[in-house]
Amino acid sequence: MINDKVLAIILGGGQGSRLHPLTHERSKPAVPIAGKYRLVDIPISNCINSDIKRMFVLTQFNSASLNRHIKDTYHFSFFSSAFVDVLAAEQTPHNKTWFQGTADAVRQSMHHFLRHDFDYVLILSGDQLYQMDYELMIEAHMKNNAEISIATIPVNAKDATSFGILKADDQNVVTSFIEKPNADLLPEWSSEVSDEMKSQGRNYLASMGIYIFNRELLVELMNDPNTNDFGKEIIPQNIETHKTLSYQYEGYWTDIGNIDSFFEANIGLTNDIPQFDLYNKSKRIYTRARMLPTSKIEGTLLNKAVIAEGCIISAAKIERSVIGIRSRIGKESTIVNTYMMGSDSYETLEEIENYKIKILMGIGERCFINNAIVDKNCRIGDDVRINGGSHLEDKETDMYVIKEGIVVIKKGAIIPVGYTIE
């Protein structure tokens, strides 16, 4: 089988500062998404659905929760060669530095990869939202005798300035590359795309940060300690000397690079027909199997709401919001344009009484929450009003962060009764 020849490497990214405070206590791939998943579940699920079942996840910051999630989630047959292993940056007698970039992360971990038998390496990002059949990309790579393949997505002129842009010929062979080109250079960088993409003005091929390398070439390239990044160095330096294929993808894809894109990706799941399809059996997203009860909802008007399992909800209204596992929302509260991640555990009546807990886990009664992300295990008291929007300036306190008008309540924060952010 083709995929017996493939090893997948999922890059966990750096410190994730643009996703702060969601990455304050967890690595970027471990950030909860869609109410019940983690970001790392996306590339892992894409691999499983593509019958690629040997995966390494590379990370160096706050990897404890990521390790725990993967250990608790991805169990394969004892008689199978399948695995998902987390490799955190490690100091050795030969290398005493952290990962310096995407290529350096792979270089430092090569001794782990080379213990396995493979012909091709599939390199993926751990912070993107999409559903892709990698098997088709691998087949195209093999059919065209490519040494490197790059997944590309057609983008418009406005978005092109934010990506690495490739120029490909009519055989989809990459001929040149430019990193985040200025708008005045774009007319020279259009490529052949489908008629549908042309009709949308998407004439430029952006790198998706998804690569295939032949084993021998990757080993050769990793011997150069002066190249630290695939997108900025490895790809531009090798497209002229090694046959590089552009594999065009036209489905939904978004880079979860900052709070705004993370927020929009989650809220987008409430659309009538979401671009990211959680309901497709052939493209299902896998995650930890939790033995949670069904959600219980009382007296609540729900409109475009995604509700995960194990919730206890008595709110007046929930609209265009994603409510995560074990969420509790009190009476007469209104939740709009909000991603509530939920809780890691329930509080029992005995705990509430014994510890005299005054503000319970979740959202209290008579609250109004709009344009917000509520991280895990938060306690929001009664009569709290949080009204995010462009009228708010960026700021950070011990309890919350405001970025681009989105109010992010920090993990485990306690918001006092009657508190207002507006």
Residue 94 DSSP label: T
Helix (H) or strand (E) holding 317: strand 317-323
Under the banding of pLDDT at 50, 70 and 90, the label for residue 179 is confident
Residue 92 DSSP label: B
Q: Are 137 and 52 in contact (CB under 8 A)?
A: no
What is the per-residue pLDDT across 382-402, written as a single tens digit (0 to 9) for each?
999 999 999 999 999 999 999
Q: Which of 112, 91, 124 is nearest to 230 (CA)?
A: 124
Q: Are 163 and 182 in contact (CB under 8 A)?
A: no
- Report the amino acid identity of residue 203: N
Q: What is the DSSP string of 66-89?
A: HHHHHHHH----TTS--EEEEEE-
Q: Which of 109, 66, 67, 106 is nearest to 91 (CA)?
A: 109
Under the banding of pLDDT at 50, 70 and 90, the label for residue 94 is low
Average pLDDT over residues 243-261: 94
Q: What are the start-end ranges of the H helices in 222-303?
A: 235-238, 259-267
Under the banding of pLDDT at 50, 70 and 90, the label for residue 102 is confident
Q: Does residue 286 carry a pLDDT above 80?
A: yes
Please state, in angstroms and as integers, the Cα–Cα distance from residue 404 to each residue in 26, 261, 422, following that order: 22, 11, 13
All domains of the chain in start order, with CATH: 2-270 (3.90.550.10), 291-421 (2.160.10.10)
Q: What are phi and psi of 282, to 5 degrees?
A: -80, -10
pLDDT of residue 65: 86
Token pair recorded at residue 385: 């009003």
CA 81 to chain centroid, in Å, comes to 26
Q: Does residue 64 carry a pLDDT above 90?
A: no
Token pair recorded at residue 15: 């410190």
Under the banding of pLDDT at 50, 70 and 90, the label for residue 261 is very high
Helix (H) or strand (E) holding 109: helix 102-113
Q: What is the pTM of this model?
A: 0.94
Can you tell me the distance from the alpha carbon of 340 to that of 415, in angstroms, rounded to the nearest whole number? 14
pLDDT, the chain, mean: 92
